[in-house]
Structure 1
């Protein structure tokens, strides 16, 4: 029973540890860029498109999504020197694009790995001790059943003995045994288990006193 009580204490402790690490996730806002399709097309430069530079918005030239040609020499972004008035590059570095990058704020859930590791360890320990506690509980229940059966056997034997030995003094003969049982009960750490043991001892003592009283009448 002491092992069972110790297992329950450990179970409560590991349960508290597990709960203390349960919040191992946090939310974080991030900014992302994603392309969206437009109804119009823009003239971009392969060299400067990453900088977000648009050389000519809503270009009216025939759609051309590839660079490397002189098709854009007639684009309104080109100057008289044949260079783009916006980025300074030649026509061959330009192309059409009908998408644009938009900025979007997104909330994501982030796992705090160090806290998660401690939670997993506490959870593993908690489950292990829970299994031990269950095994101890089953063992104790079996022992309690055996103890109850032994008490019933003692009651029956005392009853039979009282019929056979009319002068047998149960109180005197079993006094030392009952005192030893009381001493053992006082050493039980669990309050509930100690109360159960003391209750069983009182029942036995009451029963024995009853037998002796009947003999004395």
Structure 2
């Protein structure tokens, strides 16, 4: 429960309900890892807390009062069951989201594969219609752009897949170059 006092607590022992110094007069320090608490009344001459035995770096202020509550076994079980139910619901939701993302990804991959096949077919058709047009050079320029775009992909699996598709297009273009 929030109040107007500053209590010094240890990050290691805070969950145990240990307050190392109630109503600390030092300037409020909400984060641990500083030497601010060297001059706190709870610190001994050896730099260790007289309440918990930890050093000054482990301490910080809170503006809350800790209370011990006695709960029945049924209340504790209800709390644990509620936490379990929430975790289970979160797990199911996340699993469902992951499945949806995978399905969407697979759909996009199938479309991309279809587009690559369409590109290959259009290149073949174009080479029959316009024998003088050097679309191999045009495709090389596009592949260069695709490679630059692939380098910006941060997911290593997706980047590898994109690079694989680019290599397939390059192999196709090389085959066209040898034919022409």
Q: Which runs of 5+ in 1 are unaligned?
A: 1-108
Alignment of structure 1 residues 4-153 onto 2, 5 Å: 112-153=77-118
How far did residue 198 of structure 1 move?
Answer: 0.8
How far, CA to CA, are the matches of 2:92 and 2:145 in structure 1? 38
Stretch deviating more after TM superposition (179-188 or 158-167): 179-188
Residue pair 1:162, 1:168 contacting (<8 A) in 2 also: yes
Q: What TM-score comes out, normalization by structure 1 length?
A: 0.45
How far, CA to CA, are the matches of 1:114 and 1:175 in structure 2? 63
Q: Which residue of 1 aligns with 2:125?
A: 160
Q: Which residue of 2 aligns with 1:169?
A: 134
Residue pair 1:178, 1:201 contacting (<8 A) in 2 also: yes
How far did residue 206 of structure 1 move?
Answer: 1.2
How far did residue 188 of structure 1 move?
Answer: 2.4
Structure with greater strand percent: 1
Alpha-carbon displacement from aligned partner over 1:15-67 (angstroms, at most 9, x marks no partner)? xxxxxxxxxxxxxxxxxxxxxxxxxxxxxxxxxxxxxxxxxxxxxxxxxxxxx
Q: 1:206 aligns with which of 153, 171, 177?
A: 171
How far, CA to CA, are the matches of 2:113 and 2:119 in structure 1? 10
Residue pair 1:185, 1:197 contacting (<8 A) in 2 also: yes
How far did residue 128 of structure 1 move?
Answer: 0.7
Q: Which runs of 5+ in 2 are unaligned?
A: 1-72
How far, CA to CA, are the matches of 2:143 and 2:177 in structure 1? 15
Where 2:106 maps in the other structure, the secondary structure is helix
Residue pair 1:170, 1:208 contacting (<8 A) in 2 also: no
Residue pair 1:169, 1:212 contacting (<8 A) in 2 also: no
